[in-house]
Amino acid sequence: MVSDYICSEIDFPFCRFVSKEVCKGMCRTEMINKTKLNSPALLCLIAIILGLTVRMMRHVQSLCSSIGRREMTLLFTSYSFANIIELVLVGLRHTLDRKLFMILTTLQLVFTNVAFFSLLVGAITMEMYAGKHGYESQTLLYIWISSYGFLSTLVIFVSLLLKTAVPILIMSFGLNLLFAYSYFILQIRKLNFNNAEIWAYGTLFIALACFMLSSIPIFVGSGLIAI
């Protein structure tokens, strides 16, 4: 199965519930005050990502008149919560109770899904001022995000409870990839419409290249990147 192969490459938290495969590249553990800390190098990397995300949030919030400021803040906030929970799941993997681990895994996946969904929806709504019923773009964004977050929570929690990986793979991998690439296509169309300079295209394609590179370890190379 696809889930078994993915879990053999990267030890995602949800693999504990839906797969019996063991990741090929085992990480190190450290003992700190009788607490077993899993993968300290990965924890440092997640902490760095959190720091960079907070910096981006402050930069966006400082642009008070910027179109899409609230949409981008929502994106970075969701992404930050996902990484904070992942920090706990990775570091305290051998310490947390199984039920608590399941709840945190659900929340981590939900915040990740919401981040990807808000990326696309925010790009659509950030230039909208009011809908046909008089809703502001921010209100529409929150309604869509809340609805998708509720659906994602329900699907993921039930899937973990029933130990089935297919809904998780569809929602947390398939749809997230679809949202991301749809966002890039939408941005390219906007740049073409506005006759943007070449630098804007360059920035967008650099972001796309980084996103594609970050997806590679899911499928290959766990032995090379294991710590």
Closest residue by Cα to residue 139 from 150, 130, 148, 151: 130
Closest residue by Cα to residue 74 from 23, 119, 41: 119
At residue 217, the pLDDT reads 63
Distance CA 118, CA 106 (A): 18
At residue 221, the pLDDT reads 54
10-55 pLDDT per residue, tens: 778 888 888 876 665 555 555 556 666 666 777 788 888 888 888 8
Closest residue by Cα to residue 219 from 157, 169, 182: 169
Distance CA 211, CA 60 (A): 21
Residue 25 DSSP one-character state = S
At residue 28, the pLDDT reads 56
> If you write DSSP's letter for every residue of 89-101 in order, what string do you get?
HHHTTTTS-HHHH
Hey, is 29 helix, strand or coil?
strand
Q: Kindly state the helix (H) or strand (E) to which residue 95 belongs, with its residue range.
A: none
At residue 63, the pLDDT reads 65
> Which segments in the chain show pLDDT lower than 50?
130, 133-134, 227
**Taking the model in full, what pTM does it have?**
0.83
Hey, what are 24's tokens? 């090929």
The rounded mean pLDDT for the chain is 79
At residue 194, the pLDDT reads 78
At residue 189, the pLDDT reads 85
User: In CATH, which of 1.10.760, 1.10.287, 1.20.1070, 1.10.390 is domain 2-225?
Assistant: 1.20.1070
Distance CA 204, CA 184 (A): 7
Hey, what are 46's tokens? 């997640």
- Let me know: does 180 contact 211? Beta carbons within 8 Å: yes
At residue 193, the pLDDT reads 81
Hey, is 217 helix, strand or coil?
helix
Closest residue by Cα to residue 202 from 182, 214, 187, 180: 187
At residue 134, the pLDDT reads 45
The helix, strand and coil proportions of the chain, stated in percent and rounded to the nearest 5, come to 75, 5, 25
Angle between helices 98-125 and 175-193 (to 10 degrees): 20
